[in-house]
Amino acid sequence: MKIDFSGKSVIISGGGSGIGLAMSTAFHDAGAEVFILDAQPQNAIESTKNLKKVKVYSCDVSNQSRVLNVIAEIASTHSINVLVNNAGIAHIGTAVNTAESDFDKLMNVNVKGVYNCLHAVIPHMQKAGGGAILNTASIAGSLGLAERFAYSTTKGAVIAMTYSTAKDFLRDNIRCNCISPARIHTPFIDGYLAKNYPGREEEMFEKLSKTQPIGRMGKPDEVAALALFLCSDQAAFITGTDYSIDGGFVKLGGG
């Protein structure tokens, strides 16, 4: 089954690194014109320099006026077919040791950022006769994970926003789903291990990998492949669903 996005425009927040970069590459390689909203535009420009049909916008998704302006600029020349809300930040802490400033930051990026992009893009999709939206959530949004209080809170909100959006805009031919990855091997994981376990990176990487029943971490390309399918015409009968991509963590019992 060949998935073809030729002639379609895809907006991806946080599309310049990690899972977002894998998504940007996958949609580009499937023929789409990709527009990346990224708070670190220079890094995104560098990481996508070999992708011909990619344009990067400097955009903090927590800033609604900036999001509205960027989306309006894109929509002035392109019909927006797909929105991928992927931008997000992580945090480690409990309800006791999470600082208010950190909680607010996560809410602004992970929750308000998704709302801002939905708020800006959906009217354009309505005018165009439909579209596909994909939100990046996490298994942390539906499971109890230790010391992920603020992060889990925000990802639970993303799942709820997915269901609500799918319901509200069903008659506008707008589909909305979300994906919930478990541990995926991205530069964030490497940085986390280097910072917290210097000299023990290999040992801790193996330990974290084995928390997935399948015995390893996921790959960004594997997440991108699921994203590509869910936003494609082949998934036209799928909406209002949260897809775990977790090596069996949720159903088979990770730890």
> Which residues is 10 bridged to in the sheet?
34, 82
Which tokens is 226 given?
């699921």
Asked if the 9-182+219-243 domain carries CATH number 3.30.70.270, the reply is no
CA angle 87, 55, 124 (to 5 degrees): 70
Quick one: CA torsion of 241, 113, 85, 247, rounded to 10 degrees? -60
Residue 133 φ/ψ, nearest 5 degrees = -125, 135
Which tokens is 118 given?
């939905």
Active site residues: 151
Query: pLDDT in tens for each of the 255 residues of the chain?
Result: 799 999 999 999 999 999 999 999 999 999 999 999 999 999 999 999 999 999 999 999 999 999 999 999 999 999 999 999 999 999 999 999 999 999 999 999 999 999 999 999 999 999 999 999 999 999 999 998 999 999 999 999 999 999 999 999 999 999 999 999 999 999 888 988 998 899 999 999 999 999 899 999 999 999 999 999 999 999 999 999 999 999 999 999 876
How much is the pTM? 0.95
Tell me the domain boundaries of the chain. Answer: 9-182+219-243, 185-217
Amino acid at 232: S
Q: How far apart are CA 247 and CA 214, in angstroms?
A: 5
